[in-house]
Structure 1
């Protein structure tokens, strides 16, 4: 068994700690506990007061009997860590770091002098995909410095620093499930969804909705304060013996407070299904400290129509953690000890010390070696002097030949100049025919044809099309927007998903949905209905409205575009 190590994840509301050791292919968890983050010490993963936090950390470790283990791995959870997935051609692993450093300014258009660049390989090149998928991260050096100050004042030694995204991936890839699984880690202020299949990370997204909205509502009703935060989490945990949230929160309160969180999960799934036609999501697994939050599992299952499980129900993870109690709440802590990233800049690495042994026996071999080197140098000098005269004559001949080839040099330089010009022309030609040139025409039509009540929340642009998140005032406006989109000359196909009606803070009705628009010639301009096979001869749509999780054209598009009354009847 490997040596024991402390794994620590510091968040704005809570700090999670595990003491673990690798045991073959599994992990043994000796201790695990959570305590509230002292107020004013942490903001979005940045340590603001390392002295106060170090005092609290030392006290908590001592109260749990952890005094001898000093080696520590931190798992960073922060929106300040920039991440981007890139594709590189096949190359040796030792060349990947140099390739990323060379292109880092293209990945992150910011001043990288104050950032540390790290990466991990998501997928290697194969015959089906002739490229490697690499996740590159840029971490502020000032953030990392705060963790070193914390470790120094806590009497700990930093073994490694990892990102929470990689920590989560390393722990969850030990699970063997068929199909694509979404692992949803619901935090306090933000949540992370990881799409995985066969132990490979396909997509990882973070959105700014967590359990805080529901937690704050319950704290207000129960008269609890931030000092009672852990007690509040226990009372909102449906599996905990202290569960009491159902006595104060109604079903309507829970649905309202978790609406944005559930919508974030559903939109992430819709986005994945729209870009991964060959592998639709099959299940959702809830992980982390808030996985048993009251109402969360039922609302996600109802919104997505997918099987929704707890990580506690997965035997592979229990076997990997040797059935450690409450291990699913410490996924990031456990995962950071497996294969942490290189998030320690060179200036924070311990300096190498050179020691000299005073034993005389080590001097004699050194003297002998030195003598051999001196004799060899003399022989090389003599040999070089003897060949000097011949080399001078050869140099004269080469110089004469160079002078005779000056005209050839001028011709070669002109050839290189012409070649560079041709490359510029080819590059300009590629840009001119790039599919993204259709984006301008699309947005011009969007501005000209859309009703004034439309609210475009976000747009994701690819070479193939545009995915829009849209909010309008009513189902009638939604039908008008969809009908207008079908008349765009720059769109060949439209898919509608996530149609949802809700009331905003002042009680005004809003209708939200996602539209995935693919570039191309509009078939309706040629009097062709691409969905004719889904409509009976009398005009009645085949089937009923469903979410756009299938790879075939969704009947939701036809239903939304047919009339406002159909939308209101859903």
Structure 2
């Protein structure tokens, strides 16, 4: 038996590049090794790559460091620019399917064929009402400019490009043995989007994209200071996998109480510091400071969990919308199993939150159990769910190739019995395919074929006309979700400190000219200040003025101390006051009085 040929399979994401070395097109492939590395900003743009020299050298170093020796490479690509269509065609020899499809390719994709590469998968063999066997085919179109970048990268890595796969097909190939029966939903969560694939008895029946991915959650982790210094992308992912950051409903209900508790502890700490400054007794300061800092740290963590949970809920909402759409169209084929994979699948608590939302069990793909793939003992502790696309691409790629290479190889790959890619000169294809179609039409019912074709053309045209509506709706949903998120974040930052400059200006105007402000402590709930004036009369006047501020609902004087300088014999008065933010009660009474007067005048008239 010939030894299986190894291949490197690579998927370049916005944040991570994932690589797998495995047997190529083997019935029982072995996975030899996997790794992931950071993808620098600017490398990827909706499937198209612009690899820099530093990125290429780093990728080479990682490949060498992981002992990978394969000479061929496959890429798994995800892009909104890769379009797919289903079609039913007469059953001809499999090596003639591509020619038949290319002869009518503009019927499926109203684009310039010279700017695209095309591929197909024979998904099923069906029988029509007349008993005629036909192929159910998935046809895919990818812009040629996307594919050229991967050809360049393969060349720079010193590897032979074997094929380029669409990640939607890669996932299906990896799990087709595991989900050979029943209706199964696979959700792959990438950095900025998610891909949902429904299979019925091993045949793809629907693929849709969700508008949210893992990055919204990861970005929150990278922005927080709860863990001290800022987290890198990889560290943020690890933290999400090792810590359950989902906030429970009862915890969210206590958030306001926790915020009030922290504000009170901060006030007590500031009062202890002020008392220590006035009396020289600092015995209470350390305890008050520790309590305030600990409560503040706990509140930060609670707020982080709230933000993470909110981001999870947005991701889950986009997934549920696709599931609801499927259920509305397939009431007689309910989903039996749901499995999630990708970068966010094993974030601790996410699967449970999704299960609660759907009201059913959700499985996290962590290994290759139930597939025909040998994971290897040295990879038993590795979560291969992250590498599902690169593994699937090595099993059965759709066979996209750059235009330059497609013309050299004729769009064919050794052993590619079920899939192919082609974009040869159209006149030759039309001539050859015409002969194939004429033979097929002799064997088949001509009227039935043309009736079906006209119906299919009408449906394809209607679908093309309606497709922009889905794009508009998706854009609206994403924009609204982003707006809601920003409004929620802004609401957490909206407090009286936005007018702090005006407060300080008013202090300068209303306090005596010779006042000396010793300390000024500002929190989200109020201002605590310690100041010195010449005598008690000025102290009383200052307190009255503080209580006239529109933005202070309460002013509490905690200490008034007369201090005498032993050297000079002069004295002054030190005052400590805690001013709580809110609407001044006197202002409310004035407003009520004005309203009563207006009502009285209206009644008199």
TM-score normalised by structure 1 residue count = 0.59
1:142 aligns with 2:145: yes
1:77 matched to which residue of 2?
78
Does the alignment pair 1:56 with 2:58?
yes
How many Å apart are 1:311 and its aligned residue?
Answer: 1.5
1:89 Cα offset (Å): 3.6
Equivalent in the alignment of 2:342: 288
Structure 2 runs not aligned, ≥5 long: 248-300, 410-446, 490-605
1:87 aligns with 2:144: no
Matches within 5 A, 1:34-53: 34-53=36-55
Post-superposition Cα deviations, 1:42-77, rounded to whole Å, max 9, x if no partner, equal 2222112343332221122122233x3221111112
| Structure 2 counterpart of 1:31 | 33
Post-superposition shift, 1:132? 2.8
Cα deviation, residue 190, structure 1? 0.7
1:96 and 2:100 aligned: no
Q: Is the 8 A contact 2:222 2:231 kept in 1?
A: no
How far apart are the structure 2 equivalents of 1:349 and 1:435?
31
Unaligned runs of 5+ in 1: 353-422, 444-456, 461-466, 472-499, 509-570
Q: 1:176 to 1:342 in 2, by over 3 A?
A: closer
User: For 2:232 and 2:93, how far apart are their aligned partners in 1?
Assistant: 52
Distance 1:263 1:281, change over 3 A: same
Match of 2:220 among 217, 221, 227: 217
- Residues 454-473 of structure 1 correspond to what in structure 2 (within 5 A)? none
Deviation digits for residues 166-190 of structure 1 (CA, Å, limit 9, x no counterpart): 1111111020465311111111101
Q: Secondary structure at the match of 1:264?
A: helix
Asked if residue 315 in structure 1 is aligned to residue 369 in structure 2, the reply is: yes
What is aligned with 2:203?
200
Q: 2:187 aligns with which of 170, 181, 184?
A: 184
How far apart are residue 138 of structure 1 and its match?
A: 1.1
Q: 1:2 deviation in Å?
A: 0.3
| Corresponding position of 1:259 | 313
Identify which of 1, 4, 25 aligns with 1:2.
4
Distance 1:248 1:140, change over 3 A: farther
Provide closer, same or farther for how the CA distance between residues 199 and 37 of structure 1 changes in structure 2, counting only shifts above 3 A.
same
Question: Distance in 2 between the 1:103 and 1:21 partners?
Answer: 36
Structure-2 change in CA distance of 1:152 and 1:319 (3 Å): closer
Q: Structure 1 residues 299, 101: CA separation in 2 closer, same or farther (over 3 Å shift)?
A: same
Task: Give TM-score, length-normalised by structure 2.
Answer: 0.55
Residue number in structure 2 paired with 1:326: 383
Deviations 1:289-311 (A, max 9, x none): 32112332122112222220111
Q: Structure 1 CA distance, aligned partners of 2:88 and 2:459?
A: 19
Residue-by-residue CA offset, 1:257-289 (whole Å, 9 max, x unaligned):
122321121111111122123211122111123
Q: 1:327-476 alignment to 2 at 5 Å?
A: 327-345=384-402, 347-349=404-406
Shift of 1:91: 3.3
Contact 2:343-2:386 within 8 A present in 1 as well: yes
- Which residue is 1:235 aligned to? 239
Asked whether the equivalents of residues 53 and 150 of structure 1 are also in contact (C-alpha less than 8 Å), the reply is no
Is the Cα contact below 8 Å between 1:167 and 1:332 reproduced in 2? yes
Give yes or no for contact 1:234–1:243 (8 Å, CA) kept in 2.
no
Q: After TM superposition, what 4+ stretches of structure 1 lie above 4 angstroms from structure 2?
A: 127-131, 223-227, 242-251, 349-352, 457-460, 467-471, 502-505
In 1, Cα distance between equivalents of 2:115 and 2:158:
27
In structure 2, what is the Cα distance between the partners aligned to 1:327 and 1:5? 17
> In the alignment, is residue 123 of structure 1 matched against residue 124 of structure 2?
yes
Q: What SS does the corresponding residue of 1:144 show, helix, strand or coil? A: helix
- Three-state SS of the structure 1 residue aligned to 2:5 is coil
Structure 2 CA distance for aligned equivalents of residues 219 and 468 of structure 1: 27
306, 310, 327: which is aligned to 1:273? 327
1:133-167 deviation line (CA, Å, top 9, x unaligned) = 22111111111111111111121211221111111
Give yes or no for contact 1:120–1:134 (8 Å, CA) kept in 2.
yes
How many residues get paired? 377
Instruction: Name the SS of the counterpart of 1:266 in structure 2.
Output: helix
Give the distance between the partners of 1:332 and 1:54, measured in 2 at CA. Answer: 21
Q: Which is greater in Rg? A: 2
**In the alignment, does 2:157 pair up with 1:154?**
yes
1:27/1:322 contact within 8 Å kept: no
Structure 1 503/24 Cα, relative in aligned 2: closer, same or farther at 3 Å?
closer
C-alpha distance in 1 between matches for 2:145 and 2:398: 17
CA drift of 1:349 comes to 5.0
1:32 Cα deviation from its structure 2 partner? 0.4
Note if contact 2:191-2:214 (Cα within 8 Å) is conserved in structure 1: yes
Structure 1 contact 205–268 (Cα < 8 Å) conserved: yes
SS of corresponding position for 2:317: helix
Q: After TM superposition, give the deviation of residue 28 of structure 1 in Å.
A: 1.2
1:358 corresponds in structure 2 to none
